[in-house]
Amino acid sequence: MAAQRNSGGRRRSGKPTIADVAALAGVSVSAVSKVVNDRPGISPPTRQRVLDAAEKLRWSPSATAVALRGARTRAIGMVAGRSADVLAADPHFSVLISGIEAELAPADYGLLLHIVGEEPDAEERAYRRLAEERRVDGVILTESRIGDTRFELLRQLGLPAVLVGTPWQPDPIVSVRAGGDDLDQGAGLRAAVDHLVELGHRRIAYVSGPEDRVHTVARRRLFEAALDARGLRPTRIVISEFTADAAVRALRRLLAEPERRPTAVLFANDTMAVAGMSAARRLGFEVPRDLSVIGYDDLPVGSLVYPRLTTVSQDLVQLGRAAATAMFRLLGEAAGTAGEPGADGSGADGPGADGPPAVRPPTLVVRESTGPAAG
Amino acid sequence: MAAQRNSGGRRRSGKPTIADVAALAGVSVSAVSKVVNDRPGISPPTRQRVLDAAEKLRWSPSATAVALRGARTRAIGMVAGRSADVLAADPHFSVLISGIEAELAPADYGLLLHIVGEEPDAEERAYRRLAEERRVDGVILTESRIGDTRFELLRQLGLPAVLVGTPWQPDPIVSVRAGGDDLDQGAGLRAAVDHLVELGHRRIAYVSGPEDRVHTVARRRLFEAALDARGLRPTRIVISEFTADAAVRALRRLLAEPERRPTAVLFANDTMAVAGMSAARRLGFEVPRDLSVIGYDDLPVGSLVYPRLTTVSQDLVQLGRAAATAMFRLLGEAAGTAGEPGADGSGADGPGADGPPAVRPPTLVVRESTGPAAG
DNA sequence: CCCCTCCGGTATATCGTTTTACCAGAGGGC
DNA sequence: GCCCTCTGGTAAAACGATATACCGGAGGGG
């Protein structure tokens, strides 16, 4: 006489429940639960009967019910404070996401995305809602900004967080980056500078992005350091934006005075570099004959244009995977601490914990936009 | 003596529950529920007390609990069967998503994203899981392919679906597209052909994408129709892919025989057009002097390159919004039918239902990659 | 022969909401 | 004064799963 409530007439939209499975297998509801959660106390024959019943009914536990019971959503949140056109211009974000997903999907975790406008409070509201409504187990952040308040906010909200990149100031937040703590984040830019110097360039300029972003500043500094290591100083550093117009303006400034004119320019990312190449050509300069250009990120657009872009490549997919892995570790630790206080602690296998998430350092990819220094 | 279980010692992670709010306001749990759901039967003073208590505790209803109770997740799913590099090369997808989000976020809906590999069964598995685990209320699909089995699958799974684009064969699925049923989807390509013809072009070629996608075929047909309307026939139609190499190969084929050489080429999308322009230049042709080029989509990359790309512009953000709106209507109808069988039916206001989601037809944006026909 | 321990499983409380059914008191008509 | 209807609220049953407590029977030791 078990489960006569739901097994008789399928009530709503046809989705079977655990009770249906139990009835079909001729066992109790809890037996089914134990089977699907690999808990001991069920004999092999019974287990098989339950498995068959579940298969037959195409049943799997309702994510919402599990979440309610266990306080675990099996979803990771991500908030992007960017407008549609910025997002369209720079695929950085989508690539990162597909890396994250590559890790999340096999673990049966979902990615809850929120794309909000660029207004800062919209972003904060999004995080607040994510936390208050308990829709996700944690969030992954990107693009740490100077004076970023999100880490503090998330701590206050009690929401586990992983940052892709470097925090703007020392902060206990878990973070991942290409060429992590042990590896070398400056390797790519050093190789880029070396490459240029070997080609005979001495006057090298740098076009930076909006400097409220940490990685923008960091890249510029790494560039300066790389130049310094070769005994050089930057000819010029220009702060610009991600638009084509801004790139033209930046380049015009850079190329204005013939005697101080750089023979090579590095850009903060590939989008700007592509825009820069076009701007140069528009101003009558041939790349790489009159000007060598180097980008950063190694996005596909770089090899779509002519000449193909020499750029610093970082493995964004891998970076996304590392972020997801770090998140799993964070959640796994939390669960281990709360759920099994007496666990021995050694070999703690959280979901997806298989070694530290190391991402290879940035490397230089030489293509066609760099050549011997002119004159 | 109400709610003594949870109000005394905060149990777990500090998240307050409806019971805490009720206790603080000195009312019953159901009174709080009525207030937050705008249900009648609560006097203004009591309502205010409840609101204050909720505010003070920073409480809002747990999404999981609401979902469990109401069988409504307030989340929309999206599955992208694309690899990371394809995603990176074509921002189409991210722009669409930000349009969808623009509609979803204000309605407090989330977007659950699944990026799976290109293997077809991976995609199907993702949909199945989404449905079986009841994580989303519906899904939005893109890129209908020839022989697409997803519509049937989703019907069978009982998951409401909206397609961005046109189904590969007549299908009852709800769908949205730029220049919907009433408007004109061919407007952009017709304008493009007219533009070229006025510039003196008579030999016009087309480079299509992989023709297993419906929109790829549809665009080619619209191109042919537009050409036909001017009494012309395509010089040549080449099937290519989204990569730079493929673009070079396609262009080499196109420009091989001098006497039959086209003076203008349309491409299936901007990415291919940009690759095509570079390929032309690599082969020694100047754009637009020797060859005019037109793209499709109007993505930012088009104005980043030199010369700036003339292209057919469609409002992808608006298309995303329309998809979300259509989804709301779908869900609203379903809820209305099930929940209020006796409703009068006129002026049914589902969530976000404010007029039919019309997206402007594609238009031509003339920039620098088109010019007078050579010779 | 009795008690104790496993084994394989069942009954039930619980997660945090919403919703339905119900109810006390006030006010009004006759 | 009695009955009847609102008003403003309360108590309790879902929703679908999991975890804890419990339990009958088998087997073993003393």
Which chain B residue's Cα is nearest to A77?
Answer: B112
* Top-confidence residue, A183 or B20: B20
Confidence check: pLDDT of B350 > 70: no
User: Which of A58, A228, A65, A61 lies closest to B153, judged by CA?
Assistant: A58
Band (A202; pLDDT cuts 50, 70, 90):
very high
Q: Where are the alpha helices (DSSP H) in chain B?
A: 4-7, 18-25, 29-36, 44-57, 63-70, 84-89, 92-104, 120-132, 150-157, 187-198, 214-229, 244-255, 270-282, 301-304, 316-339
Q: What is the pLDDT of residue A375?
A: 67
Residues B82-107: tens digit of each pLDDT: 888 878 888 888 889 989 999 998 88
Q: Determine the pLDDT at residue B182.
A: 67
User: Which residues, other chains included, contact B309 with Cβ-Cβ below 8 Å and sequence gap of 6+?
Assistant: B270, B273, B274, B277, B293, B294, B295, B301, B302, B303, B367, B368, B369
Question: Cβ of B14 and A300 within 8 Å?
Answer: no
| SS3 labels along A279-325 | HHHHCCCCCCCCCEEEEEECCCHHHHCCCCCEEEECCHHHHHHHHHH
Q: Point out the least confidently predicted range of A125-134, A135-144, B22-31, B178-187.
A: B178-187
- The pLDDT assigned to A121 comes to 85
Q: What is the pLDDT at residue B232?
A: 93
Identify the DSSP state of A10.
-
DSSP B174: E
The answer to whether residue A5 scores a pLDDT higher than 60 is no
The number of beta carbons lying within 10 Å of the beta carbon of residue B21 is 29
* Cβ–Cβ contact B37 with A under 8 A: no
Which region among A35-39, A329-333, A362-366, B362-366 has the lowest average model confidence (pLDDT)? A329-333
As ranges, strand C nucleotides with an atom below 7 A of a protein CB are 7-12, 14-21
Closest CA to B101 of B111, B91, B93: B111
pLDDT higher than threshold 80 for residue B129: yes
Query: Which one of A14, A114, A135 has the shortest CB-CB distance to B101?
Result: A114
Cα–Cα distance measured from residue B189 to residue B176, given in angstroms and rounded to the nearest whole number: 19
Closest C-alpha among A212, A365, A294, A299 to residue B94: A299
> Which pLDDT band, with edges at 50, 70 and 90, does A362 fall under?
very high
State the number of CA atoms in the 13 A half-sphere of A345 facing the CB: 3
- pLDDT reported for residue A3: 36
Query: A244 CB contacts (<8 Å, ≥6 apart)?
Result: A275, A278, A279, B300, B303, B304, B308
Tell me the CA distances in angstroms from A337 to A137, A160, A329, B92, one per residue in order.
16, 14, 12, 43
Looking at residue A13, the DSSP 8-state letter turns out to be S
The 10s digit of each residue's pLDDT in A304-330 is: 999 999 999 999 999 999 999 999 999
Work out the number of other CB atoms within 10 angstroms of the CB of residue A217.
18
Pairing of strands B204-208, B264-267: parallel
Does B160 contact A at CB distance below 8 Å?
no
Other C-beta atoms closer than 10 Å to the C-beta of B31 total 20
Inform me whether the C-beta atom of residue B68 falls under 8 Å from chain A C-beta atoms: yes
Q: With 90 as the cut, is the pLDDT of residue B332 above it?
A: no
Calpha distance B100→A54 (Å, rounded): 35
The answer to which of A235-249, B130-144, B255-269 has the lowest mean pLDDT is A235-249
Phi, psi of B123 (to 5 degrees): -65, -45
CB A300 within 8 A of CB A311: no
Half-sphere exposure of B284 (CA within 13 A, CB side): 3
Is pLDDT of A339 > 50?
A: no
Helix-, strand-, coil-residue percentages of chain A, each rounded to 5: 45, 15, 40
What distance in Å separates residue B338's CA from the closest CA in chain A?
9
Question: With a CB-CB cutoff of 8 Å, which residues 271-290 of chain B face chain A?
Answer: 271, 274-275, 277-279, 281-282
Residue A1's pLDDT band, with cuts at 50, 70 and 90, is very low
**What integer best gives the mean pLDDT of chain A?**
86
Cβ B12 to strand C below 7 Å: yes
Q: Judge whether residue B355 has pLDDT over 60.
A: no
Contact B184, B360 (CB under 8 A): no
| Total beta-carbon pairs less than 8 A apart between chain A and chain B | 191
The CA distances from residue A42 to A20, A25, A33, A65, A99, in Å, are 19, 13, 10, 23, 38
A43, closest nucleotide (Cα–C1'): C8
pLDDT (0 to 100) of residue A343:
34
Percentage of chain A lying above the pLDDT 70 cut? 88
Q: Is the pLDDT of residue A149 over 60?
A: yes
Neighbours of A356 (CB within 10 A): 13
- 3-state SS record for B281-315: HHCCCCCCCCCEEEEEECCCHHHHCCCCCEEEECC
Dig out the tokens for B75 from the structure.
Answer: 């989340």
Q: Does residue A313 or residue A342 have the better pLDDT?
A: A313
Question: Which residues neighbour B122 within 8 Å (Cβ) at sequence distance 6 or greater?
Answer: B81, B116
* Chain B residue numbers touching A119 (CB-CB < 8 A): none
pLDDT number for residue B120 = 72
The predicted model gives B315-337 an average pLDDT of 82
Cis-peptide, bond into residue B288, ω within 30° of zero = yes
The pLDDT of B250-276, averaged and rounded, is: 92
pLDDT at position A108 is 85
A147: pLDDT strictly greater than 60: yes
Examine the pLDDT at B305 and tell me if it is beyond 50: yes
Report pLDDT for A88: 80
pLDDT grade, residue B357 (50/70/90)?
A: low
Q: Is pLDDT above 80 for B127?
A: yes
Q: How far is CA B348 from the centre of its chain?
A: 25
B43 touches strand D (CB under 7 A): yes
Chain B residue with the nearest C-alpha to that of A368: B282
Query: Beta-carbon neighbour count of residue B281 at 10 Å?
Result: 18
| Residue predicted with more confidence, A1 or A156 | A156
What pLDDT, on a 0 to 100 scale, did the predictor assign at position A335?
41
Distance CA A68, CA A43 (A): 29
| CB distance B198 to B373 below 8 Å | no
Question: Could you give the CA distance from residue A285 to residue A291 in angstroms, rounded to a whole number?
Answer: 7
User: How far is the C-alpha of A138 from the C-alpha of A160, rounded, in Å?
Assistant: 5
The answer, yes or no, to whether residue B249 has pLDDT greater than 50, is yes
Who has greater pLDDT, A259 or B364?
B364
- Tell whether the model's pLDDT for residue A254 goes beyond 60: yes
- Look up residue B140 and give its two tokens: 């939005």
Give contacts of B247 with chain A, Cβ < 8 Å: 304
- Mean pLDDT score, B50-70: 92
A300/B305 Cβ within 8 A: no
Token pair of A147, please?
A: 């004076």
Of A181 and A129, which is predicted with more confidence? Answer: A129
Instruction: Tell me what pLDDT residue B348 has.
Output: 33
Q: For residue A277, say whether its CB is under 7 Å from any atom of strand C.
A: no
- B75 interfaces chain A, CB cutoff of 8 Å: yes
Which of B195, B190, B14, B157 has the alpha carbon at shortest distance from B79? B157
Measured between beta carbons, which residues in chain B are less than 8 angstroms from residue A299? Answer: 88
Tell me what pLDDT residue A328 has: 93
- Confidence (pLDDT) at A350: 38
Enclosing H/E stretch for B163: strand B161-164
- Identify the weakest region by mean pLDDT among A52-56, A211-215, A243-247: A243-247
User: Taking 60 as the threshold, does the pLDDT of residue A341 lie above it?
Assistant: no
So what's the pLDDT on residue B14?
A: 64
Whether A347 has a pLDDT exceeding 90, the answer reads: no
**Position B65 pLDDT exceeds 60:** yes
pLDDT (0 to 100) of residue B353 = 43
pLDDT at residue A195 above 80? yes
The dihedral of CA B62, A321, B95, A272: what is its sign?
positive
- pLDDT recorded at residue B3: 36
Q: How confident is residue B9, by pLDDT bands cut at 50, 70 and 90?
A: very low
Chain B within 8 Å of A58 (Cβ-Cβ)? Answer: yes
Q: What is the dihedral of CA B272, B274, B277, B278, to 10 degrees?
A: -100
CB contact under 8 Å between B110 and A115, yes or no, is no
Q: Is residue A355 over pLDDT 70? A: no
Given phi > 0 = left and psi -120 to 50 = alpha, else beta, which region is A12? alpha
| pLDDT tens profile B206-241 | 999 999 989 999 999 999 999 999 999 888 999 998
Residue B373: predicted pLDDT: 93
Which of A4-18, A278-292, B298-312 shows the lowest per-residue confidence on average (mean pLDDT)? A4-18
**pLDDT at residue A229 greater than cutoff 50:** yes
Q: Is the dihedral of CA B122, B128, B129, B130 positive or negative?
A: positive
* In the block, residue with structure tokens 């407008």: A83
Q: What is the mean pLDDT of residues B123-139?
A: 90
Please give residues of chain B from 51 to 110 whose alpha-adjacent beta carbon (CB) lies under 7 Å from any atom of strand D. 65, 68-69, 71
Name the least confident of A180-189, A229-238, B36-45, B122-131: A180-189
